Structure 1
Amino acid sequence: MSWLPLLLFLLSTATQESVNAAESNILTLHRRIEHSNASRLERLRTAIHGDGLRQRMIAGVIGRRRKANEVDVPLPSLESTIEMPVWSGAYTGTGQYFVRVRLGTPAQPFLLVPDTGSDLTWVTCRYRGTTDLMSAVKDGRKNGQRSRRRRAKRIFEADLSRSFHPISCSSMSCQTELPFALTTCPKATSPCTYDYEYAQGSSAQGFFANESATVEFPNRRRMKLKGLVVGCTSSAVGSSFVSSDGVLALGHGPNTFVSRATARFGQRFSYCLVDHLSPRNATGYLTFGPNPFLPPHPSAPLILDPFLQPFYYVAVAGISVAGEVLRIPPSVWNYRRGGGVIVDSGSTLTVLADPAYGLVVNALSHRLAEVPRVQVDPFDYCYNWSSPKAAATCVPSFEVHFVGGARLSPPVKSYLIDVADGVKCLGFTSTPWPGVSIIGNIMQQEHIWEFDLENQRLGFHPSNCATGTLFP
């Protein structure tokens, strides 16, 4: 997932250093940054570090896992839609979003990270025999890494749930349907264990179980969603999990939360992420089934190749800045040639493969050349937005063009992001070529995104995420 804070440089009171006219236009901003601004920048720095780890994880996942067999699912019912509230994690100092999920019987509430790049739903968990179970996990781990127990606010007490049933390591499900299950199987009744690696230094260890979730309809009526594959995690490592209780797998695959929920409520789901700097009381939503608040909207082809699971690739044709289509090599958008683009709610910033990154930031920075530059590590392009020249500058538009003609036209704040008062930075990072580009959650904010799995389409429409409220 997307997920080392770096030491924030301390800025002295306002002074300006002389610069040689022949040198770059870059200035160093000398002023005191208040604690709230420091926290904002630290959160973004942490997110950028996590995004970098996540990029390496994504590159390594495709093609390395055992192919999962399809599982039988009940016929879809379109009679209802279930809805879950989603929050920005800014108040916790992370670049993630949280969704409230109730697991078990009786139901226990948790805050999970909704992750379209994950195929394992897991929660911090306590179960009888955990010590013996985790010894099996350690036996199956690579390179003798040690696991560390995570401090959590909420722990799923699996022994108290009547619907919790561990999956044995000798089962067909463990051996063929769970591509990240460990091969360790001391005896037939031993649980099916996992060591799920999101990135270097970020992982979750535990065992699989079948469990139920309590879901809610818009009219507040509740029902049980049964047959879920859930990870009972007793040890997790990584800053991504400090503020959450686990992960809600929204990735494409046979054993994700999406596969079960869309089978019951129609082959589509959608979400709307509020502004990433929103306070805790501002909520978006995650729905399964038809979204009654989504009007006719543009859509792009979704690429749901089994060998690309759990990621959602979208067919991109190009990028334009200020209405001018950039000359980005077509191979950058072709997943068969080492490129491609995924929509990832678990990544914070938008990631562009080097050939695209250079052209995009050059085009944007060229049109922002009159605004004084400032140095804010680790961003490449930052600006003193309190400068009078900033007020007179028209920020160029940025658009993503999809195959078929649909265009994503995000608001300026989604690609020229606030990192402190009076300081804005271009919200892109680069990844070496060949490499996968990523549309991160800041670029996705304040839009409804609908994943139509049956028709393999990705729809989107601007919205402030209040139920039934759309932007023009």
Structure 2
Amino acid sequence: MIQTLTLLFFILFHPTHSKPDYLKLNLRYNGNHHHSLSQTLTQDSIRLSFLSSRTTLSAPIISGASTGSGQYLVEFHLGTPPQRLHLIVDTGSDLIWTRCSPCRSNCSFHHPPGTTFLPRHSITFSPFHCYSPSCHLIPHPSHSCNHTRLHSPCRYHYAYADSSSTSGFFSHDVATLHTLSGHPTHIPNLPFGCAFNISPGPALSSAHGVLGLGRGPISFPSHTSSNLGNLFSYCLLDYTLSPPPTSFLLIGHHSIKPSFTSNLSFTPLLSNPVSPTFYYIHITAVYLNNIPLPIDPDVWVLDPNTGNGGTIIDSGTTLSFLPTPAYDQIVSTMALKIPDRFKISHGPPGFDLCVNSTKPLRKPKLVFKLLGGAVLAPPPGNYFIEAADGVTCLALQPADAGFGVIGNLMQQGFLFVFDRDASRLGFSRNGCAV
């Protein structure tokens, strides 16, 4: 028995090859194609209003990962033996968490495989003690901690914009994932929230939890940085195609070949001390058909004292939100460049510019110039979205949340590289074949 446990320990805590290359995880779009464009706007606005509460000094630390009109899911294996889960990939939060069940036996009757994590079925699962330093890294740790009790777990609580919530034990277990070469890599002591109490929101009905990719110390990239490198990247492909192509998430420095770095454009990632989770970039100018728009550069500035302003890259928001003065200038200038015969006045509520897509129309070319000289030039399909048969609308909105957002629709077809050590964001239109 001792020899068996020793062998099991060796297998769990030592990869099957000495140096893991990098993780390549497939992503599946988790949107509802039956949603109207107005519903997309409503859910995105809820997410943003909730995320904006994290940019004020007095606000509780909360997450918007359960909201938004469309997220991307990654297949994740947790525990010993591994249990398969599907988690929302979220650059706007840090905590990894999954729904849990205290079920002991006959669990498949209540919880079919792949629908919830069963901690009692994992021999490597363990909650952190409430006195553990790790417990102080999570949102809302319990303050009623008995330091002398051996079994006094660290408790956490997350609330969401749609009145849903999750709470449970902050724990750790082994994650088993595969590298690009097919080798299994075991990630020991992965910290995550084991949620026993969940009031599900709309997105949580089909996902089993959240994989936090934020900049905080308990996010997934932070935990894997010592072994794989402090870098991750993803490519989000057009989910409107049928069948939709497979998007992917790459974890590790070796995922970006040195020869490919020359194809990337880089812009600095800014830090917001008030809200350190988010990945901020700085837009310096906007061009329409190669002509700079008269937008005051100050509207893009991130104020580190108040936490207001700036623009974040967010994987969980579909539309893009820009400061109101910039948004108004883009919409009014773009409307002047589109002939009246293409315009539709009866578009969905909340959208200021819709066009008839049954007629051939060369849409105005929108370009963002970023700090450091990088240029983000998305194709029109990244900022026009289908509202109905034959109708497309500008997928931009004014940012009432206090900061701008580049949503996942605008990101489609680009490889985005989050180089956390160098605090820079790289991107390229030619990297999605990695």
Work out whether the TM-score is over 0.5.
Answer: yes
State which of 299, 322, 327 in structure 1 corresponds to 2:289: 322
Q: 1:64 Cα shift?
A: 4.3
Quick one: structure 1 residues 181 and 44, their matched pair in 2 at CA, closer, same or farther if it must change by over 3 Å? Answer: farther
What is the DSSP-based 3-state SS (H/G/I as helix, E as strand, rest coil) of the residue aligned with 1:40?
coil
Once residues 126 and 248 of structure 1 are traced to their aligned partners in structure 2, the CA distance between those partners, rounded to angstroms, is 18
State which of 430, 452, 461 in structure 1 corresponds to 2:398: 430
Q: 1:94 Cα shift?
A: 5.1
Once residues 273 and 173 of structure 2 are traced to their aligned partners in structure 1, the CA distance between those partners, rounded to angstroms, is 25
318-327 vs 98-107, which deviates more? 318-327
Q: 1:107 Cα shift?
A: 0.9
In the other structure, the counterpart of 2:423 is 456
Counterpart code for 1:454: D
1:420 is the counterpart of 2:415:
no
State which of 37, 41, 44 in structure 2 corresponds to 1:48: 41
Counterpart code for 1:364: M
In the other structure, the counterpart of 2:121 is 160
Q: 1:184 Cα shift?
A: 4.0
State which of 163, 179, 186 in structure 2 corresponds to 1:201: 163
Q: 1:451 Cα shift?
A: 0.5
Quick one: structure 1 residues 119 and 423, their matched pair in 2 at CA, closer, same or farther if it must change by over 3 Å? Answer: same
Once residues 112 and 312 of structure 2 are traced to their aligned partners in structure 1, the CA distance between those partners, rounded to angstroms, is 32
* Contact 2:95/2:138 (8 A) holds in 1: no
* Contact 1:410/1:443 (8 A) holds in 2: yes
Counterpart code for 1:258: P
In the other structure, the counterpart of 1:405 is 373
In the other structure, the counterpart of 2:213 is 250
Would you say how many aligned residue pairs link Structure 1 and Structure 2?
Answer: 378
Once residues 359 and 184 of structure 1 are traced to their aligned partners in structure 2, the CA distance between those partners, rounded to angstroms, is 53
In the other structure, the counterpart of 2:102 is 127
Q: 1:325 Cα shift?
A: 1.7
Once residues 190 and 183 of structure 1 are traced to their aligned partners in structure 2, the CA distance between those partners, rounded to angstroms, is 11
333-342 vs 200-209, which deviates more? 200-209
370-379 vs 437-446, which deviates more? 370-379
String of CA shifts for 1:159-205, please: whole Å, max 9, x gaps.
Answer: 1112211112232222x322442434367433222221232424322
* Contact 2:103/2:120 (8 A) holds in 1: yes
| Identity among equivalent pairs (%) | 34
Q: 1:253 Cα shift?
A: 0.6
1:298 is the counterpart of 2:265:
yes
In the other structure, the counterpart of 1:17 is none
Q: 1:213 Cα shift?
A: 1.0
Once residues 281 and 413 of structure 1 are traced to their aligned partners in structure 2, the CA distance between those partners, rounded to angstroms, is 15
* Contact 1:276/1:442 (8 A) holds in 2: no
Once residues 285 and 409 of structure 1 are traced to their aligned partners in structure 2, the CA distance between those partners, rounded to angstroms, is 21
What is the DSSP-based 3-state SS (H/G/I as helix, E as strand, rest coil) of the residue aligned with 2:277?
coil
Once residues 177 and 83 of structure 2 are traced to their aligned partners in structure 1, the CA distance between those partners, rounded to angstroms, is 12
In the other structure, the counterpart of 1:225 is 187
1:365 is the counterpart of 2:338:
no
* Contact 1:152/1:242 (8 A) holds in 2: no
Quick one: structure 1 residues 237 and 331, their matched pair in 2 at CA, closer, same or farther if it must change by over 3 Å? Answer: farther
* Contact 1:151/1:242 (8 A) holds in 2: no
String of CA shifts for 1:218-244, please: whole Å, max 9, x gaps.
Answer: 110011112221111121331121221
1:355 is the counterpart of 2:325:
yes
Q: 1:307 Cα shift?
A: 3.5
Q: 1:102 Cα shift?
A: 1.0
In the other structure, the counterpart of 1:113 is 88
- In the TM superposition, what are the counterparts of 1:74-93 in structure 2 within 5 Å? none
TM-score, normalized by length of structure 2? 0.81
What is the DSSP-based 3-state SS (H/G/I as helix, E as strand, rest coil) of the residue aligned with 2:35?
helix
String of CA shifts for 1:84-125, please: whole Å, max 9, x gaps.
Answer: xxxxxxxxx951111111111111111111100011111111
Once residues 368 and 283 of structure 1 are traced to their aligned partners in structure 2, the CA distance between those partners, rounded to angstroms, is 34
1:275 is the counterpart of 2:243:
no
Counterpart code for 2:188: K
* Contact 2:53/2:59 (8 A) holds in 1: no
In the other structure, the counterpart of 1:287 is 250
* Contact 2:83/2:114 (8 A) holds in 1: no
What is the DSSP-based 3-state SS (H/G/I as helix, E as strand, rest coil) of the residue aligned with 2:74?
strand
Once residues 229 and 44 of structure 1 are traced to their aligned partners in structure 2, the CA distance between those partners, rounded to angstroms, is 37
What is the DSSP-based 3-state SS (H/G/I as helix, E as strand, rest coil) of the residue aligned with 1:308?
coil
Q: 1:278 Cα shift?
A: 3.6
Once residues 237 and 328 of structure 1 are traced to their aligned partners in structure 2, the CA distance between those partners, rounded to angstroms, is 41
What is the DSSP-based 3-state SS (H/G/I as helix, E as strand, rest coil) of the residue aligned with 1:459?
strand
Quick one: structure 1 residues 263 and 307, their matched pair in 2 at CA, closer, same or farther if it must change by over 3 Å? Answer: farther
Counterpart code for 2:145: C
State which of 279, 297, 310 in structure 2 corresponds to 1:340: 310
* Contact 1:57/1:199 (8 A) holds in 2: yes
State which of 249, 252, 263 in structure 1 corresponds to 2:226: 263
Quick one: structure 1 residues 306 and 107, their matched pair in 2 at CA, closer, same or farther if it must change by over 3 Å? Answer: farther
Q: Tell me, which stretches of 5 or more residues in structure 2 are unaligned? A: 1-31, 62-67, 105-110
Quick one: structure 1 residues 444 and 308, their matched pair in 2 at CA, closer, same or farther if it must change by over 3 Å? Answer: same
* Contact 2:54/2:60 (8 A) holds in 1: no
Moved over 4 A (4+): 64-67, 150-153
Once residues 44 and 463 of structure 1 are traced to their aligned partners in structure 2, the CA distance between those partners, rounded to angstroms, is 29
